[in-house]
């Protein structure tokens, strides 16, 4: 473990604009600004706060105009046969969705090119693919202009093959760090100081050469791992519990990508978090009287450790070690711990303190990590430590912030019950939901201190939005009427088994690591908002994803949607109507397509202009408000006049309006279809011209929102 002093800052003439911190051998430095202990007035727990600098200190004359923390990044990409399938587009209960020729691998390739676009010569990139076997496509290589062109060709050459040998993909990805003389953890290397990370993406379940002792046990044999491991699960045929366990033992994060509309935002946020890393391999060590019985409050996790008692101590003490993984600039970490001791113990020490016979028990917190400096030396460890008497209650943290962090921990703990660990330390999603799940959700909401601050604290509000829905009072509204994603995932068995069991561990992981993992969920969007470096990196990645040329569709089959009139079937089969559509079991607001040209020979997709921002858009709308829509009785009204329960005409007959979402936009490109309708090629529906009427009918029914 490399330990770097995280509080003494200085600038140097290094090749990076990022700061270095002085390294003092075995010195315990006290820094209340970085590491804080906050005993609560309620005398039932304590919050440990780690507060990294807001951003790196710039150097006066940088040799590199670097705008992010340098990375050693390895992409381990699943190229099994299923990666060649059409990228999933929402469809009810797995029914036929919209097909535009892009495969899952096409979109992963585009995401990899996006990452490459934001790297520079100070970064290195490696690529591993895995199917029946794994293959090292590229060893860790500096991202020079000449290497960039070679990497692009290698990405374009990736093709789907056969099985899913996940273990070899992870093994060979980690080996690139170990076998490289210039790896990030090599103190003698001129390139040392880069943040090492392995990104593993798969769309299925490993089915070939899985470790007999289990993935977690196999990974623990590395000890220590040469890089953090971040896993990404695409689609719905996932062993998501395994992906979460791998990320936990690897000190990284697991992210769920439900469909193609989420692939951009998930990768953008994952890499932006890496590019704004303040410290890696962070570890918090707490020493306290054993009678206090400190307890973690976020449920089961692979990396969770039991307290130990040091040998030889005269007074009974315990040491609790908590793995933190990476820390980011501008994003604090708060760990809420409960006192497990009896109330009589606290009363006795308070009485003794008043009499002057005992000063009161103390908690000592030590933060160990390896930071982003280009000159750290693994042989010169250092650490930051603070000590606090638990009888001295904190007045620094506002009550709303305390309520937020306690509620966040309780929410993580509640969610973790639905994917417990098995004997191999693999999370296993529950196969049956409790019969009293509504009562459990209601009890959870009523136990959250955040409820009392949801109108005044953005963080508290975000937790309740994800749990109960927007503008819903959990104290007065019964859970069956909640619309929050957590409630939807647990109250509807169909939703739970399709996407909920994959989504919940991803959400809990984002809250546990306090990282923003996409633009979707209200809770994780609270993280990183005070980090200029994270925001800058995210925006650059976001722009690159939208700006790069769209991938060439690999699957040459006709799109489901060309121009549609009531006399022209939507499907490529030449007859019949499209299946009914209800995307309430998805949550994406960013799957839209560019204009569609006329017909012609050749590839069915040659006339489709794909705007990649449409895979990465949270604000787009479906239809212009003035567009006319035909009601079931034949009357035409502006679409802005639709209300819940009204009947509209669709290719499958009358359908009831479930909801209407209004989005305020100033300017947005439109698609003009036959009959004068104006709208977008969108997951939420399409517009179809009514010849001779100058109006439009809804191409497909269903509501937006959900997952």
Q: Are residues 109 and 141 in the same domain?
A: yes
Q: What angle do CA 694, 698, 701 make, to 5 degrees?
A: 170
Instruction: Give domain status of residue 139, yes or no.
Output: yes
DSSP structure string for 633-679:
TS-EEEGGG--TT-EEEETTEEEE---------S----EE-TTS-EE
Radius of gyration for the alpha carbons in the chain, expressed in angstroms and rounded: 27
Residue 70: Cβ-neighbour burial (10 angstroms; 0-12, 13-18, 19+) = buried
CA 598 to chain centre: 39
Same domain (yes/no): 400, 376:
no
Mark whether 573 and 690 lie in a shared domain: yes
Over the chain, what is the mean pLDDT? 78
Q: What is the 3-state secondary structure (H, E, C) of 114-148?
A: HHHHCCCCCCEEEEEEECCCEEEEEEEEECCHHHH
- Please, which residues have CB within 8 angstroms of residue 289's CB and are 6 or more apart in sequence? 315, 316, 317, 318, 361
pLDDT at 207: 81
Q: How much is the pLDDT for 153?
A: 95
Residue 376 lies in a domain: yes
Query: What values do phi and psi take at 83, rounded to 5?
Result: -70, -15
Q: Final residue of a domain: which of 276, 299, 334?
A: 276
pLDDT at 443 over 80: yes
> What are the tens digits of pLDDT across the range 357-415?
677 889 999 999 876 554 433 333 457 899 999 988 877 899 999 999 999 999 999 99
Neighbours of 302 (CB within 10 A): 19
Two tokens, residue 437: 């799940």
Task: Give 203-224 pLDDT, tens digit per residue.
Answer: 878 888 889 999 999 999 988 8
Which residue do the tokens 């932006």 mark? Answer: 272
Q: 42-51, 321-330, 340-349: lowest mean pLDDT where?
A: 340-349
Same domain? For 48 and 156 the reply is no
The sign of the CA dihedral 391, 395, 399, 402 is negative
Span 166-207, pLDDT tens digits: 999 999 999 999 877 555 444 434 445 789 999 999 987 888
Find the mean pLDDT for residues 83-107.
Answer: 69
| pLDDT given for residue 144 in this prediction | 93
Same domain, residue pair 312 and 377? yes
pLDDT for 140-149, tens place per residue?
A: 999 999 999 9
> pLDDT tens digits for 252-286?
999 999 888 788 899 999 999 999 999 998 999 99
Hunting for tokens 């501008």 — which residue is that? 330
* Residue that finishes a domain, picked among 393, 416, 437: 393
**DSSP-assigned beta bridge partners for residue 36:** 49
pLDDT for 487 equals: 97
Note the pLDDT of residue 558. 45
Burial of 437 (0-12, 13-18, 19+ CB in 10 A): middle
- The beta-strand segments (E) located in 436-578 are none
Q: What is the pLDDT of residue 585?
A: 33
- Are residue 514 and residue 615 in the same domain, yes or no? no
Please check the confidence at residue 503 and state whether its pLDDT lies above 60. yes
544 belongs to a structural domain: no
Rounded CA-CA distance 440/160 in Å is 44
The pTM score is 0.77
Domain boundary among 242, 276, 310: 276
Task: DSSP for 184-241, please give it.
Answer: TT-TTSTTTTPEEEEEEEESS---SS--TT-HHHHHHTTSS-SSEEEEEEESSS--HH
Q: Please list, in sequence order, all residues whose beta carbon lies within 8 angstroms of the beta carbon of residue 632, skipping any fewer than 6 positions away.
A: 647, 648, 649, 654
Whether residues 102 and 249 share a domain: the answer is: yes
- Both 119 and 249 in one domain: the answer is yes
In a domain, 185, yes or no: yes
Residue 326 covered by a domain: yes
pLDDT at 626 (0 to 100): 74
Closest CA to 300 of 440, 429, 468: 429
Q: Is residue 446 part of a domain?
A: yes
Domain holding 249, by residue range, is 66-276
Residues 569, 697, single domain; the answer is: yes
Instruction: Establish if 537 belongs to a structural domain.
Output: no
Classify residue 325 as left (phi > 0), alpha (psi -120 to 50) or beta: left
| 240 — pLDDT class (breaks 50, 70, 90) | very high
Q: What's the number of domains the chain is made of? A: 4
pLDDT of 457 higher than 80: yes
Query: Does residue 542 form part of some domain?
Result: no
pLDDT of residue 513: 98
DSSP 353: H
Residues 96 and 209 in one domain: yes
Q: Which residue has the higher pLDDT, 99 or 688?
A: 99
The pLDDT value recorded for residue 6 is: 27
Same domain, 365 and 507: no
pLDDT digits (tens, 9 = 90+) for 576-634: 332 322 333 333 333 232 222 333 334 444 455 555 655 565 554 567 777 888 887 77
Return d(Cα 535, Cα 269) in angstroms, integer: 9
Residue of 115, 373, 62, 355 whose CA lies nearest to 232: 115
Residues 269 and 342 in one domain: no
Q: Give the Å distances, CA to CA, from 221 to 63, 171, 210, 218, 495.
A: 40, 11, 15, 5, 37
For 87-96, 168-177, 442-451, 565-574, which range has the lowest pLDDT when averaged over its residues? 565-574
């Amino acid at each position: 473990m490399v330990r770097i002093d995280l509080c003494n800052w200085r600038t140097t003439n290094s090749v990076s604009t990022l700061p270095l911190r002085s390294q003092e051998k075995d010195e315990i430095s006290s820094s209340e600004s970085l590491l804080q202990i906050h005993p609560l007035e309620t005398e039932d727990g304590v919050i440990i706060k780690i507060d990294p600098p807001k951003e790196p200190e710039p150097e006066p004359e940088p040799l590199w105009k670097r705008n992010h923390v340098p990375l050693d990044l390895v992409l381990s990409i699943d190229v099994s046969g299923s990666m060649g399938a059409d990228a999933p587009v929402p469809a009810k209960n797995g029914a036929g969705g919209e097909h535009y020729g892009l495969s899952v691998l096409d979109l992963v390739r585009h995401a990899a090119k996006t990452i490459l676009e934001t790297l520079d010569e100070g970064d290195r990139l490696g690529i591993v693919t895995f199917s029946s076997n794994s293959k090292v496509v590229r060893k860790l290589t500096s991202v020079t202009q000449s290497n960039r062109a070679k990497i692009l060709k290698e990405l374009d050459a990736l093709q789907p093959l056969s099985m899913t040998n996940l273990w070899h993909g992870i093994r060979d990805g980690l080996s690139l760090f170990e076998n490289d003389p210039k790896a990030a953890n090599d103190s003698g290397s001129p390139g040392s100081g880069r943040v090492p990370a392995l990104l593993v993406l798969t769309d299925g379940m490993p089915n070939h050469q899985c470790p007999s002792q289990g993935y977690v046990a196999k990974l623990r044999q590395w000890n220590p791992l040469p890089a953090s491991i971040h896993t990404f699960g695409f689609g719905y045929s996932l062993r998501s519990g395994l992906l979460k366990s791998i990320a936990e033992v690897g000190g990284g994060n697991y992210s769920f990508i439900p469909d193609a509309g989420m692939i951009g935002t998930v990768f953008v946020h994952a890499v932006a978090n890496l590019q704004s890393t303040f410290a890696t391999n962070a570890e918090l060590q707490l020493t306290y009287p054993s009678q206090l019985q400190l307890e973690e409050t976020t449920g089961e996790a692979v990396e969770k450790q039991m307290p130990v008692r040091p040998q030889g101590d005269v007074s009974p003490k315990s040491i609790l070690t908590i793995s933190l993984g990476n820390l980011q600039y501008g994003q604090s970490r708060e760990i809420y711990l409960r006192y497990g001791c009896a109330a009589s113990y606290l009363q006795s020490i308070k009485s003794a303190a008043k009499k002057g016979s005992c000063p009161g028990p103390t908690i000592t917190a030590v933060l160990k990590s390896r930071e982003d400096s280009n000159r750290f030396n693994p042989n010169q460890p250092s650490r930051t430590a603070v000590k606090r008497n638990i009888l001295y209650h904190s007045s620094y943290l506002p009550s709303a912030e305390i309520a937020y962090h306690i509620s966040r921990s309780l929410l993580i703990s509640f969610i973790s019950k639905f994917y417990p660990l098995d004997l191999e330390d693999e999370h296993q999603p529950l196969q049956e939901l409790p019969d009293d799940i509504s009562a459990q959700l209601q009890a959870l909401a009523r136990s959250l201190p955040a409820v009392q601050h949801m109108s005044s604290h953005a963080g508290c509000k975000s937790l309740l939005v994800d749990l109960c829905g927007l503008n819903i009072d959990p104290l007065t509204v019964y859970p069956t009427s909640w619309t929050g994603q957590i409630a939807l995932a647990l109250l509807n068995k169909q939703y739970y088994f399709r996407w909920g069991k994959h989504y919940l561990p991803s959400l809990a992981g984002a809250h546990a690591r306090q990282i923003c993992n996409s633009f979707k969920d209200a809770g994780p969007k609270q993280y990183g908002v005070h980090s200029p470096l994270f925001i800058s990196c995210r925006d650059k990645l976001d722009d690159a994803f939208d700006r790069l040329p769209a991938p060439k569709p690999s699957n040459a089959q006709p799109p489901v949607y060309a121009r549609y009139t009531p006399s022209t079937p939507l499907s490529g089969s030449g007859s019949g109507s499209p299946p009914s559509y209800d995307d309430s079991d998805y949550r994406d607001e960013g799957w839209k397509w560019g204009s569609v040209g006329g017909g012609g020979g050749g590839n069915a997709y040659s006339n489709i202009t794909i705007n990649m921002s449409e895979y990465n858009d949270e604000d787009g709308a479906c239809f212009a408000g003035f567009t006319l829509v035909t009601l079931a009785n034949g009357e035409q009204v502006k679409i802005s006049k639709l209300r819940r329960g009204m009947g509209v005409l669709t290719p499958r007959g009358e359908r009831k309006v479930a909801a209407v979402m209004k989005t305020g936009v100033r300017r947005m490109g439109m698609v003009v279809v036959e009959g004068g309708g104006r709208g977008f090629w969108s997951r939420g529906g399409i517009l179809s011209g009514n010849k001779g009427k100058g109006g439009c009918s809804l191409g497909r029914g269903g509501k937006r929102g959900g997952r």
